[in-house]
Amino acid sequence: MDKLLDFTGKTVLITGAAQGFGELLARELAARGAHLVLGDLKTDALMAVASELKAGGTKVVALHCDVSNEAHCQALVDGALETFGQLDIAVNNAGIAHTLGPIETITNDMFDQQWQVNVMGVQFGLRHQITAMRKQKHGVILNVASMAGLGGTPRGAAYSAAKHAVVGLTKTAAVEVARDNIRVNAICPFFTATPMVTKSDLVSHAGSLEQAKDALSRGAPMRRIAEPEEIVNVMLMLLSPGNTYMTGQAIAVDGGASAI
């Protein structure tokens, strides 16, 4: 196996691993030899993924995890250390969207939920992941942000504010831990055909999934939304053991949208 894609023996923690980017990344890393620590709020779906990976020979720890609960985030890190003795890589992937609407209609509850899950969920992860990685003097952390964290997002104010915060956390953490040989980056995908999009109110508003994809694709020069595999391939590059000098970056994977 190419050393850039060889994760043999690496312990990787992934939140939001029951579906979407998290599930696909877990499968890709399992195929490349990683040990996995998986968390998700959807316990049944998570355990199904874990069971399938274990049947294929991957060493997996799977735990119910609500990332807005700090104790759950700590339990994932503790599970990695207790089972595998180290935490090499952490992916703070879990997140939620909200019902779209003009900024004046976004409620306090919507902002609070975005803050607790999308921001504090990342901060809780960073807190305990970095504590473990500082002791071992190495580690890689990837936060899943969004193109909404790099620019304005009409009708998605609370989500955009939260993802901007994730980018800020990423850059700040990267500077603070660089001397401990810990890299911290963020990935900022464009609209992607994951459940967050395909099962959202975007579809009902557009009339059908294909109509929603067509409407969303107009924002990208490539004139299509992303497939999950395209985002996960970039995640693998960012996490690669051979990628040792890249840190503090918020990488847009957007079909050219940010080039306009």
Per residue of the chain (260 residues), give pLDDT as tens.
788 899 999 999 999 999 999 999 999 999 999 999 999 999 999 999 999 999 999 999 999 999 999 999 999 999 999 999 999 999 999 999 999 899 999 999 999 999 999 999 999 999 999 999 999 999 999 999 999 999 999 999 999 999 999 999 999 999 999 999 999 999 999 988 787 767 666 665 655 767 767 777 888 899 988 899 999 999 999 999 999 999 999 999 999 999 98
- All CATH 3.40.50.720 domain ranges of the chain, comma separated, are 3-190+227-253
pLDDT at 192: 84
pLDDT at 106: 96
Residue 242 makes CB contacts below 8 A (sequence gap 6+) with 3, 4
CA torsion sign, 126 to 129 to 21 to 203? negative
Q: Is 128 exposed, middle or buried (0-12, 13-18, 19+ CB in 10 A)?
A: buried
pLDDT at 67: 98
pLDDT at 225: 85
Q: Is 210 exposed, middle or buried (0-12, 13-18, 19+ CB in 10 A)?
A: exposed
Question: Helix, strand, or coil here: 17?
Answer: coil
pLDDT at 216: 77
The CATH-assigned architecture of domain 3-190+227-253 is 3-Layer(aba) Sandwich (3.40)
DSSP 7: -
Cut 0.85: pTM above it? yes
Pairing of strands 35-40, 89-92: unpaired
Indicate if 159 belongs to the active site. yes
Which strands form 35-40's sheet, in the order they lie side by side?
Answer: 60-64, 35-40, 11-15, 89-92, 139-144, 182-189, 250-253
pLDDT at 194: 83
Q: Which of 7, 21, 84, 159 is catalytic?
A: 159
pLDDT at 152: 94
pLDDT at 193: 77
